[in-house]
Amino acid sequence: MKHKNLKFSRSVAKVVADLVLKRPFIFPVGIYLCLTYVQEILTSTFVRDYLLFSILVLLYRQVSNWRGISLESILLFFYGTLLSISVTWNVFGSDEFSIPGVMAIVTLGAILANHHYTEQDIDDARNMFFLGGVCTSVAMLYQNYFGDPFYMGGRLTLGNAQHWEDPNTLCAYLTMALAAGFQIILSVKTKGMRALIILATGAVLVTMLLTGSRGGFVGIGVSASLFLLTSRLERKTKVTIIFFAVLALPYLPGFSNVWERFSEDSSGSGRTYIWNIALERYKEKLFFG
């Protein structure tokens, strides 16, 4: 027992020493921000959800590699999480706070720390977007059917989480999660896990449809396009999928009304975010290799 305690103490000391010696500026600033904003941070529902989501990401990465969870990885992961949350909160303020913003900072921090993209970085970023989208979708669906009567049965927006009312903002966030879900389905080998991923991806898809917004249809189309452009499917398979998708469009119920709505002016609406996010991610090839 004494040996284990000594090993634990050495591990903590090593992590602290690495942070102080290798990152002398970040360490004190991070501690200051964490201590200064810890009360405000813990009162945010979004942040509590993100901390839980961070645990899921950490467990996913460790289990997928069939390795034990080391103390160093836990401390460094949560240190980075708290630091990124604190910085985001400090810079943008509570009114502009968002999970995607924190996720972007965490991902950027991981990339800068490694100085180059690795396959593991890309997988982690993709899985983070997917898990975040699934957690958000499940929470939205639960609240819509079993939660606050004020929101039950209505259009799903981030306003259901006491945030933005624009459904396009929610769709812009879930677009990348849906595209990532399509890719993960292909990469999973076991039938049980594949079924679970399909179910989770379906939750994201249903959430986008329940927004009742053109942004939902745009987001689904953009997700499918990103998947077809970046996945490792054979060219013949891609062409076949695109052909039948286009062929099926005229047979959708109320297609003419949908087309009229799409042809309306979209400038200045939240739907522009969906296209911007998709184009940036595709150009950077950050989440899809």
Tell me the DSSP string of 47-89.
HHHHHHHHHHHHHHHHHHTT----HHHHHHHHHHHHHHHHHHH
Q: What is the pLDDT of residue 37?
A: 42
Q: How far is the C-alpha of 51 from the C-alpha of 47, rounded, in Å?
A: 6
Closest to 227 measured CA to CA, from 267, 183, 177: 183
Tell me if 59 sits within 8 A of 52, measured CB to CB.
Answer: no
Measured CA to CA in angstroms, residue 12 lies from 7, 36, 63, 74, 217 at distances of: 9, 23, 23, 11, 49
Q: What is the pLDDT of residue 214?
A: 74
User: For 197-200, which contacts have Cβ atoms below 8 Å and span 24 or more sequence positions?
Assistant: 200/130, 200/134
Measured CA to CA in angstroms, residue 196 lies from 136, 145, 202, 237 at distances of: 16, 21, 10, 24
How many Cβ atoms from other residues are within 10 Å of residue 3's Cβ?
A: 7
Q: How far is the C-alpha of 289 from the C-alpha of 287, rounded, in Å?
A: 6
Measured CA to CA in angstroms, residue 56 lies from 104, 183, 210 at distances of: 17, 19, 26
Per-residue pLDDT of 150-204, as tens digits, reads 555 566 766 555 455 667 777 777 777 888 888 888 878 888 888 888 898 999 8
**Helix %, strand %, coil % of the chain (to 5):** 80, 0, 20
Q: What is the pLDDT of residue 215?
A: 74
Q: Among all chains, which residue has been given the structure tokens 């179910």?
A: 199
Which one is predicted more confidently, 277 or 206?
206
Q: Give yes or no for residue 32 having a pLDDT over 80.
A: no
Per-residue pLDDT of 202-227, as tens digits, reads 998 888 888 877 777 777 877 777 77
Q: How far is the C-alpha of 43 from the C-alpha of 85, rounded, in Å?
A: 13
Q: What is the pLDDT of residue 225?
A: 75
Per-residue pLDDT of 243-256, as tens digits, reads 656 655 555 544 45
Q: What are the extents of the domains in the chain? A: 1-116, 122-260+269-289
Q: How far is the C-alpha of 139 from the C-alpha of 161, rounded, in Å?
A: 9
116's tokens: 């180059």
Q: Is 215 helix (H, G, I), strand (E, B) or coil?
A: helix
Closest to 203 measured CA to CA, from 152, 140, 154: 140
Q: Give yes or no for residue 82 having a pLDDT over 60.
A: no
143's tokens: 């609240």
